[in-house]
Structure 1
Amino acid sequence: MTLLGRVGRALLWLVLLVLVLALAVVVWLKVTSAPRVSGTVTLPGLTGPVTVTRDEWGVPHIRAQASDEDAMYALGFVHAQDRAWQMDFQRRVSQGRLAEVLGKAALPQDRFLRTWGFQRAAQSALPALSPETRRMVRAYTAGVNAGFRQGKLAPEFRILGYTPEPWTDVDSISWSKLMAYDLGGNADDEILGTRVVKRLGEPGLNEVLPPYPQNAPTILDREELGLTGQAPRTGSETAALPDATLRALQAHLDAARSLGMERVPGKGSNDWVIGGSRTASGKPILADDPHLALTSPMLWYLADVQGPRLRAIGASIPGLPGIVIGRNDRVAWGVTNVNPDVQDLYIEPEGARLTQRTEVIKVKGQPDVRLTVRESAHGPIISDVGAGEVGPRVALKWTALREGDTTLDAFLGLNYARNWTDFTAALEKYVAPSQNFVYADVDGNTGYYAPGRVPLRQGWDGSLPVPGDGRREWTGYIPFAQLPHTYNPADGLVVTANNKVVPDAYPYPLANIRNWAEPYRAQRITDLLTQKPGGLTLDDVKGVQLDTVSLVWRDLKPFLLATQPDGDLSRQALDRLRGWDGNERAGSVEPTLFEAWLAELQTMAQDELGDGTRVNSLAVLNQLRQGGELCRDESAGRADCAAELRASLRRAVDGLAARLGPDPAGWTYGKVHTVASNHRAFGGVKALAWLFNHSAPTNGGTNTVNVARPEPGTMQQTHGPSYRQIVDLADPNRSVYVGSLGQSGNPLGNHVSDQQKRWAAGEYLPMSTDAGDWGRVQTLTLRPGR
């Protein structure tokens, strides 16, 4: 044999050896991290036996005999079995302890989290909870720790070289504080608004942050609220901030964005409830699909939890006890974000009394970092970044940082609600983030409530930072009985899609005029549900939930099609768009053209406000209708909106050609528009991304009902319906639900992504407590012991 031949054979054996070793490592990781799902285990802290029957999709059906606390213990146990890394990561986010395991790259995030004080807020909330909730939290905590003690470490722990600390009761509140940030407040709008006023004057606010259209649908109308006349409007107060301070404030937003905690156009939700007068069965149907970050693991964990009194099934969040969205045997509920204005930025005057504390941030492989956090009477000073003070001291006041947060009481109360009275009694304890709750029960009743603490302001609207000299203070909160609500509405329909909740006649300042989502989703849902005046079925509701027709295209179409093409590719794009019906399907070319063009148009304010600034679809429409100033860019030689349309189309098609080739016939949407369910820690690590990330082509686009906004640049979908449910109150076990990925957080688990294909295809799982609907099952029995 020649030398070359011997070398070749040696290399072949080396490659085979590496592959065998890699396979052995994978098998070892799978065996050592797979949770036990059958047989019997003895666990301390239980008062009686509990069975955990996982169905063919890995959804646990928990049956506790002795107490509801045992059922909650078991929920904590299965959360720890399937999502231990996710739970630990979430609490590290709340605690600002990411650098401890991820290194100095996570320092900006830890500084943001420690400065805002999420963990301190969680600690202050625990004593306010009712004794019943405290017992359930303690049982859940015991179950989580029992799961941790099983010794089945998730691969992430092994890769990073640490084990999770014991769970505490406060950890079960921490994640709710992060959700409150993710879904509530307008500090980011105040910062953007300040930049707009500084560059464009107050009239620029309507250009960049357009008010909600006067003729667009509100969730409740004047008749449902019993309103007459017109409520007085308050104005904004302009407060200038130097660029250095604005950059410091923006640094916090950037840190939050890197954690997926940002308000983006694709983040919102839809829910609606249909009364029996509109359904084929004569009983209500309730639908919900919260639009959040589509991460790996997915946010939600489907579960069916039953004890002597508890009968709840739906979507839970690992780390939180109870079902967050779902139903019990009598009542169903769904949620979408209200987004009232619950945050204010105060510019503290010289001489204002400040306290301070020192936070010690441990950094993996590096010396500890000491962070000084200052606070005023309003809240933490968030304009201090890194080296310290950079100018005016800007404090944050926010309902979620106030003491006495009893939101967890509310959610556990919903799990037990038997009727509207119980339901509203639970919601009276709700603090943040304010949500649109829709309601239905087996007796045929429907309802809606928007609970939460919403500040009252006298003489100012909270849309911009204000002086902290005592002249602009909260005077209380909107009384619970006066918050928007309705019970058995006459028209048998309540639709919410983050749109404006109430008409202008509502006497309380629920939100400033720029906080609402654009009305496209709400309008489309209402149109589809009212086109069939009676006889709506569960399948009809599925069709609405999965609808991908773009009303944004309908509004922009006449302006876009009037564009004069700049080159052959632009001409071909316009020719294709002329006959398009606006349905954004993965197999079509037209959605690719439209969404790429829209993304370019949304950058039209960058020459005025800097790179990274994006306006929404409504702002684009207003500019094109009015020949607005944002269309103009003297430095680029664009004098009007016609020039902006021509140039933005050219940029869009040139970018697509560079990415997909020169022939537009091959630019099908599904090639670029894929869901990116990426891992929070390893999603961007090339050596590991293949193991932890999951992707699939998806339908839908910007502001479609099945919302699937493409990210600028990549056109991937990173936010959307993280969970879907449709509850049929005529036969609750005929209800359906599905998550965006899978039950397991283990990348080597059997159920890590088995729901994703169903989710992308618009299919569902049975939301049933009947074992006959569960398919192949595995049962684990938990027995009390030492």
Structure 2
Amino acid sequence: MTAGDGTVQVRGRDGSHAVVHHPGAVISAEDWTGAALGLGFQMATDRPGQLDFLRRSARGRLAQLVGRDALDADVRQRRLGLEAVARRCLTLLPPDQVRLLDAFTDGVNTALRQRGSAMTWAPVDCVHVAQVLFQAMGSNGSELHMTEVMRRSLPSAVVDFLLDAADGYATAPDGSPEVDVGVPLPLAELRVLFRQPADQSGGPVVADPRPAGSNAWAVAAPDGAVLANDMHLQLGDPALMYVVRLRVGETEVSGVTVPGLPVVLAGTNGRVAWGLTRLPGDTADLRSLGPQDLADVEVRRETIEIRGESPVTVEVTQSRWGPVTSTLAGEPVAFTATLLDPRALDFGLLRLCDAADVETALDIVNDCGLPPVNAIVADAAGRVGWTVGGRFPHRAEAGRPRGFSDAQEPVPYRFVPPHELPRLVGPPTGMVVNCNNGNHAVRRAGLAWNLPPGIRARRVAVGVDGGGRDAAAARDLQLDVDASCYEFYRDLALRYLPPEPRTAALREIREDVMAWGGTAHAREPGLALLTVFRELLREALVAAATGPARALDDRFTYCFAGAEGPLRRLVAAVPDGLVPAPWRDDRHFVVGQLLMARMMLLRDVGTDRLPQWGQRNRLHLVPLAGYPPEAVDLELSGCAETVRVAQPDYGAVMRLVVDLGRPGDSSVCIPGSPREGVPMAEAVRSWAVGYGQPLTVVPAGYSG
């Protein structure tokens, strides 16, 4: 019911009540159940199409909405059986969380009925939305498949080198550098592999891990603490994140979440602020199935409806070790993960809304059923902390690369107890930081091993040390585009390019590289060439080092997140004869990669001269099915290695800054408008240059 002042009164079947105040969509209620009711109503008012899209994504029912383009994704989801997992998860939730989901569902369905929609939401759909995040942030087993193939086909010294976790940018949770010692370069074994003819069949050998990540840090300030969090996922229309503002009694909570979730993923209650980053956890297992295992499998048929076409029937095979999702050397391979464990997911994160200090908040995060995450926390007393959240399988070997699991290992998982998860509170540096990078504490605890380098975390730590400790400084650092990590490849190019090139192509390459200013600004010359140059070097060198792996498995890919360390050592060994066939020597090889990089850029960008960075790094939004997007074509500053992460279709789905000492300086920024059907081009342009909005909005006439 809408009042004359623009507020909306919402009542649930259980008697719960909420008021949605406009403008600002501030939801007030007597308790968190009522707040969930109002939140469900407001989300279904603003984002009904996105709610449907997200739940269909988990269930494998997108093709029914968008057609054949979604068929492969639907087949994958049906094989995983997430619908059955979600139903079991719902039966395991504590009663207070069930009430929360029931109230949220009432709010969604109330709004849908008012819109005349035939769609109906159910509590299990909230679980499905959580599963979408689990899947985006968790392991799909690709790193296990990679390791198994390498161990079956390559010398052990080569495997250890290619999966070496040593990181020249290693950064501890308190922002200080960590020292890593790398394994020896197996030059003799690599020379043997490099002499073998290159396999030109199939696709690329190197595959970057799936793009999902975040930056987060918190720093003690003179009158409190400042927390910054920007989450990186696929960019789309509408934006993935949704701004939340709740008032329950004297508690005011502001932050962001994903439509369909009745919890605040990152935000503040005025006493505590929290933010999350992805932790690429060791949360999956693959197992080869022998004849005896296959004798016990269950096979069922799934019918997938396709818009505008006849339905497709697929066979789904379930073993005692999980669904069969792939093969290796002719043997079926079963997959399992915390994604498929109904005990691993809950909605306990809502308890952060009542947290009073850092320790309480860290305890809550440790005990939540989440995707594997790092949590950065700060409180109004000026204390900061870091820990991890999620359910982590107990591993016998801590922090080492794993391939396939032994058939005797226990299923279901035995989880690491919450009190054994690592944490750090109040470090002398006055700072905590994580940008998806690994650290010694996480590796020692056996929580993860396929971790990205600490390039972004190191840059954040340096920026905090050298800058201010207020909200304005945090926003500036979120937009930092320092790309000095590419100096290695610039220096390599200039070392091999002749000082006075004879050909026009080489002259252009040298001028372009020398003009690069060290950043990933959209107007920078040189970086586009350097990024493609690096990709080509990596592909050629890794393909030469892993030829037998591709011979064993023609779908083999090297998806090691820490590949930068081994790559730089391979490049450094090129003058020692580590040159892939059929190149004659190191100079021909390096200059050849530069010429190919130029040719590929000119072809892809469609210009007759080397492009500036933004001409290659253009944003093209992915529209939601059935939702007409407004055309947005932007040149983006930033890249995967800068604090300001930006790639085509991928970047910061939100930027949040909380200043607990000066709440009015807190801000939030999302790449788009809050509602479907509203032109969003201007909002995306504002996001691209870093403009945000106040985090807390007080509605006119609101008296508290």
TM range (shorter): 0.7 to 0.9
Cα distance in 2 for residues equivalent to 1:307 and 1:379: 42
Cα distance in 2 for residues equivalent to 1:454 and 1:392: 28
Q: Partner of 2:674 in structure 1?
A: 743
Cα distance in 1 for residues equivalent to 2:471 and 2:176: 30
Match of 1:63 among 14, 28, 33: 28
**Alignment root-mean-square deviation, CA:** 3.5
Q: Partner of 1:131 in structure 2?
A: 95
Match of 2:423 among 485, 491, 496: 485
Offset, 1:431: 2.9
Q: Partner of 2:620 in structure 1?
A: 676
Alignment of 1:189 onto 2:122: no
Alignment of 1:376 onto 2:313: no
What's the CA shift string for 1:429-448, capped at 9, x where partnerless? 32331111111111222111
Match of 2:290 among 341, 349, 369: 349
Match of 2:684 among 738, 741, 756: 756
Alignment of 1:400 onto 2:354: no
Alignment of 1:45 onto 2:12: yes
Match of 2:535 among 599, 621, 633: 599
Contact 2:228 2:656 in 1 (8 A): yes
State the SS of the aligned residue for 2:159.
helix
Alignment of 1:330 onto 2:271: yes
Offset, 1:496: 0.5
Alignment of 1:508 onto 2:476: no
Cα distance in 1 for residues equivalent to 2:156 and 2:655: 41
Cα distance in 2 for residues equivalent to 1:510 and 1:330: 30
- % identity of equivalent residues: 24
Alpha carbons of structure 1 residues 207 and 644: separation in structure 2 relative to 1, 3 Å: farther
AA of the residue aligned to 1:399: T
Q: Report matched runs for 1:408-487 at 5 Å.
A: 408-409=347-348, 411-458=349-396, 463-466=401-404, 468-470=406-408, 476-487=414-425
Q: Report matched runs for 1:579-590 at 5 Å.
A: 579-590=515-526
AA of the residue aligned to 1:402: D
Contact 1:76 1:140 in 2 (8 A): yes
AA of the residue aligned to 2:213: G
Offset, 1:662: 2.9
Q: Partner of 2:307 in structure 1?
A: 364
Cα distance in 2 for residues equivalent to 1:104 and 1:185: 26
Contact 1:597 1:652 in 2 (8 A): yes
Offset, 1:114: 1.0
State the SS of the aligned residue for 1:335.
strand
State the SS of the aligned residue for 2:304.
strand
Q: Partner of 1:646 in structure 2?
A: 591
Q: Partner of 1:542 in structure 2?
A: 475
State the SS of the aligned residue for 2:596.
helix
AA of the residue aligned to 1:130: P
Match of 2:574 among 614, 627, 635: 627
Alpha carbons of structure 1 residues 36 and 173: separation in structure 2 relative to 1, 3 Å: farther
What's the CA shift string for 1:557-598, capped at 9, x where partnerless? 321221226842232222332353311111222223323333
Cα distance in 2 for residues equivalent to 1:151 and 1:462: 53
Q: Report matched runs for 1:569-584 at 5 Å.
A: 569-584=505-520
TM-score normalised to the size of structure 1?
0.77
Contact 1:675 1:696 in 2 (8 A): yes
Cα distance in 2 for residues equivalent to 1:271 and 1:768: 20
Alpha carbons of structure 1 residues 628 and 729: separation in structure 2 relative to 1, 3 Å: farther
Offset, 1:462: 7.3
What's the CA shift string for 1:156-183, capped at 9, x where partnerless? xxxxxxx53x100000011211211211
Offset, 1:771: 4.2
State the SS of the aligned residue for 2:342.
coil
Cα distance in 2 for residues equivalent to 1:48 and 1:524: 47
Q: Partner of 1:526 in structure 2?
A: 461
Q: Partner of 1:255 in structure 2?
A: none
Alpha carbons of structure 1 residues 670 and 612: separation in structure 2 relative to 1, 3 Å: farther
More moved, 442-451 vs 652-661 = 652-661
State the SS of the aligned residue for 2:334.
strand
Match of 1:767 among 690, 695, 698: 695
Cα distance in 1 for residues equivalent to 2:429 and 2:539: 41
Q: Partner of 1:657 in structure 2?
A: 602
Q: Partner of 2:435 in structure 1?
A: 497
Offset, 1:426: 2.0
Contact 1:294 1:678 in 2 (8 A): yes
Q: Partner of 1:267 in structure 2?
A: 212
Structure 1 residues without counterparts, runs of 5 or longer:
1-34, 154-162, 225-229, 231-249, 252-261, 710-716, 780-786
Cα distance in 1 for residues equivalent to 2:590 and 2:95: 61
Match of 2:632 among 676, 691, 694: 694
Alpha carbons of structure 1 residues 543 and 490: separation in structure 2 relative to 1, 3 Å: same
AA of the residue aligned to 2:386: Y
Alignment of 1:92 onto 2:28: no
Contact 2:10 2:17 in 1 (8 A): no
Alpha carbons of structure 1 residues 629 and 113: separation in structure 2 relative to 1, 3 Å: farther
Alignment of 1:177 onto 2:149: no
Offset, 1:479: 2.4
Contact 1:99 1:110 in 2 (8 A): yes
AA of the residue aligned to 1:412: L
AA of the residue aligned to 2:570: Q
Offset, 1:317: 0.7
State the SS of the aligned residue for 2:322.
coil
Match of 1:83 among 47, 50, 57: 47
Alpha carbons of structure 1 residues 266 and 149: separation in structure 2 relative to 1, 3 Å: same
Cα distance in 2 for residues equivalent to 1:396 and 1:408: 25
Contact 1:266 1:720 in 2 (8 A): no
Q: Partner of 1:27 in structure 2?
A: none
Contact 1:344 1:462 in 2 (8 A): no
What's the CA shift string for 1:598-623, capped at 9, x where partnerless? 33334324564479957754443232
Cα distance in 2 for residues equivalent to 1:460 and 1:736: 39
AA of the residue aligned to 1:735: S
State the SS of the aligned residue for 2:447.
coil
Offset, 1:525: 1.0
State the SS of the aligned residue for 1:303.
strand
Alpha carbons of structure 1 residues 80 and 103: separation in structure 2 relative to 1, 3 Å: same
Contact 1:379 1:397 in 2 (8 A): yes
Contact 2:398 2:444 in 1 (8 A): no
Cα distance in 1 for residues equivalent to 2:405 and 2:42: 49
Contact 1:342 1:398 in 2 (8 A): yes
Offset, 1:551: 3.1
Alpha carbons of structure 1 residues 41 and 415: separation in structure 2 relative to 1, 3 Å: closer
Structure 2 residues without counterparts, runs of 5 or longer:
182-201
TM-score normalised to the size of structure 2?
0.85
Offset, 1:186: 5.6
More moved, 116-125 vs 598-607 = 598-607
More moved, 327-336 vs 357-366 = 357-366
AA of the residue aligned to 1:114: R
AA of the residue aligned to 2:669: V
Alpha carbons of structure 1 residues 346 and 49: separation in structure 2 relative to 1, 3 Å: closer
Contact 2:11 2:18 in 1 (8 A): no
Q: Partner of 2:190 in structure 1?
A: none
AA of the residue aligned to 1:273: A
Alpha carbons of structure 1 residues 265 and 93: separation in structure 2 relative to 1, 3 Å: closer
State the SS of the aligned residue for 2:131.
helix
AA of the residue aligned to 2:256: A
